[in-house]
């Protein structure tokens, strides 16, 4: 019996999922063995599996499947970033974290956007959109690195916390600039845009607190915790509810899932606690699900790279990434961390924070969403984002230990 088009499409999708999971698992194993962040190899293997090479993975950028994976994957990874943060650490260096994760993202995006405008000759708003997409850092890359390299605790916690928080800010900024790109510069108002940004952020925070606390209550409360036996499923429902709930009331879905994760990760602060075994199982599930999402996002991103376009803009893209790494990030760190007199950051600590800022999951997902939505200039944005992801991870991640040693930040 001949398969119908729907059945054939389902079989093709099932095959792609099997390939991504099988190859991703093997790739992740080798990445751990050689001490390289897994997303580097996911990107490279995705390029090999794509239509330009082996043609085993061919998910169109603008397909519903691709957009679903990007939306849920980015949301779950943000949620995982929120879960990893602790209120105690935030209380010690919260000023630096908040300022770098907000003002710092804007500074980084603006300088990178200016570089893109000059080096690539693209429209101003498209250049700023590129800057916004690439401005956030990647907790999914940084956390594994710091598990291998022992560095002063407050530096590590600040970098990781900032990377988790600035992902949400980067997403909000991207969609704020996108609104201008789609409606036209003549409709742009700095005051209105700033107010919209603040409104989306605060509504997202409110939604994340409500949904996050409600879910934790149903998971860990002695009387109302009737979902205690379904902890992994609750995290999936929590991410979906936080994202869609915030959107329904015109808030940031990404900020909402991040805050919901923060509430779950700090549930003890609200008098709610899980048994040690349950806590361990939940942590394993969240880490595994986040890993699967990284596999799909980066392998698909690699398979969708437009090599023809990349070959025409690679020189300009290198220039943009150079400015991004050596000018934009240091400017953001020194402008924001120096402001925090309470934390008394040393020059060595700030230099380390300047360098340790790998680009990763959220920028990649945002670039994919823009291409899928056929935003003008999105191909160039995706190409430069790919270069930023690859170069920052290949250059900055392997040199983390060396730099920490040079700056005397290693601990026994």
Residue range 24-43, pLDDT digits in tens: 999 989 888 887 777 778 88
Tell me, yes or no, whether 81 lies in a domain: yes
Which pLDDT belongs to residue 269? 87
What pairs with residue 410 in β-bridges? Answer: 151
Is the separation of the CB atoms in 363 and 115 below 8 Å?
Answer: no
pLDDT over 60 at 270, yes or no = yes
**Residue 185: inside a domain:** yes
Give, in order, the Cα–Cα distances in Å from 17 to each of 21, 239, 297. Answer: 6, 22, 12
Greater pLDDT, 389 or 323: 323
What DSSP letter does each residue of 263-277 carry, written as one string? HHHTGGGGT----HH
Q: Which residues contact 196 (CB under 8 A, 6 or more apart)?
A: 176, 179
3-state secondary structure of 37: coil
- Running DSSP on this structure, what letter comes out for residue 410? B
* Among 63, 50, 53, residue whose Cα is nearest residue 303: 50
The pLDDT mean for the chain works out to 85
| In the predicted structure, residue 13 carries a pLDDT above the cut 60 | yes
pLDDT at 1 over 60: no
Provide the pLDDT confidence category of residue 143 given band limits of 50, 70 and 90.
low
Burial (Cβ within 10 Å: 0-12, 13-18, ≥19) of residue 217: middle
Q: Which domain holds residue 89?
A: 68-293+308-373+397-406
pLDDT tens digits, 86-131: 787 777 788 888 889 889 999 999 999 999 999 999 988 899 999 9
Q: How confident is the model at residue 290 (pLDDT cuts 50, 70, 90)?
A: confident
DSSP 287-338: HHHHHHHHHHHHHHHHHT--HHHHHHHHHHHHHHHHHIIIIIHHHHHHHHHT
pLDDT winner (highest mean) among 59-73, 228-242, 302-316: 228-242
CA dihedral 57, 58, 62, 65 (to 10 degrees): -50
Q: What is the CATH number of the domain that holds 97?
A: 1.20.1530
Two tokens, residue 393? 């991870």
| Banded model confidence at residue 191, pLDDT cuts 50, 70, 90 | low
pLDDT at 185 over 70: no
pLDDT at 113: 93
CA 81, distance to chain mean position in Å, is 9
Report how far apart, in Å, the C-alpha atoms of 257 and of each of 203, 212, 242, 280 are.
Answer: 12, 8, 5, 21
Total number of domains in the chain:
1
The answer as to whether 43 is a domain residue is no
Instruction: Please list the residues that pair with 151 across neighbouring strands.
Output: 410
Q: Is the CB of residue 113 less than 8 Å from the CB of residue 131?
A: yes
Average pLDDT over residues 178-198: 70
Burial 275-296 (b: 16+ CB within 10 A, else e): eeeeeeebeeebeebbbbbbbb
Buried/exposed 101-138: b ≥16 CB within 10 Å, e otherwise: bbebbbbbbbbbbbbbbebbebeebbbbbbbbbbbbbb
The span from the CA of 254 to the CA of 242, in Å, is 8
pTM for the full model? Answer: 0.81
Residue 188 lies in a domain: yes
Q: What pLDDT score does 327 carry? A: 94
């Amino acid at each position: 019996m001949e398969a119908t088009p729907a059945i054939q499409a389902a079989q093709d999708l099932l095959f792609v999922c099997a390939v991504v999971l099988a190859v991703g698992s093997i790739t992740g194993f080798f990445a751990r063995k050689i001490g390289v962040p897994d997303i580097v190899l996911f990107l490279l293997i995705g390029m090999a599996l794509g239509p330009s090479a082996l043609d085993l993975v061919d998910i169109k950028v603008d397909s519903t499947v691709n957009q679903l994976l990007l939306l849920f994957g980015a949301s779950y990874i943000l949620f995982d970033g929120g879960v990893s943060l602790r209120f105690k650490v935030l209380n010690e260096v919260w000023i630096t974290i908040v300022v770098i994760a907000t003002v710092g993202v804007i500074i980084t995006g603006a300088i990178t956007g200016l570089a893109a405008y000059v080096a690539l000759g693209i429209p101003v708003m498209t250049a700023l959109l590129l800057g916004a997409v690439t401005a956030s850092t990647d907790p999914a890359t940084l956390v594994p690195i710091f598990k291998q390299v022992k560095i002063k605790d407050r530096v590590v916690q600040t970098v990781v916390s900032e990377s988790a928080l600035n992902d949400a800010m980067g997403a909000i900024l991207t969609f704020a600039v996108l609104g201008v790109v789609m409606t036209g510069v003549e409709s742009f108002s700095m005051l209105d845009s700033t107010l919209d940004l603040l409104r989306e952020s605060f509504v997202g925070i409110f939604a994340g607190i409500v949904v996050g606390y409600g879910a934790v209550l149903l998971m860990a409360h002695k009387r109302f915790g009737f979902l205690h036996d379904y902890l992994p499923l609750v995290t999936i429902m929590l991410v979906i509810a936080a994202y869609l709930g915030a959107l329904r009331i015109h808030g940031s879905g990404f900020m909402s899932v991040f805050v919901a994760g923060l509430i779950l990760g700090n549930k003890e602060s609200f008098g709610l606690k899980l048994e040690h075994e349950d806590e361990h199982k939940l942590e394993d599930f969240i880490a595994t699900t986040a890993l699967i999402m990284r596999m799909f996002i980066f392998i698909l991103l690699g398979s969708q790279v437009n090599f023809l376009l990349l070959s025409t803009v690679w020189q300009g893209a290198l220039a943009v990434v150079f400015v991004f790494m050596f000018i934009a990030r240091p400017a953001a760190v020194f402008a924001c961390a120096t402001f925090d007199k309470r934390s008394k950051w040393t020059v060595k600590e700030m230099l380390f924070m300047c360098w340790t800022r790998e680009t990763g999951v959220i920028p990649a997902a945002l670039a994919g969403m823009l291409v899928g939505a056929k935003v003008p200039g999105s191909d160039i944005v995706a190409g430069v984002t790919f270069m930023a992801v690859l170069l920052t991870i290949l250059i900055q991640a392997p040199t983390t230990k060396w730099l920490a040693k040079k700056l005397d930040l290693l601990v026994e």
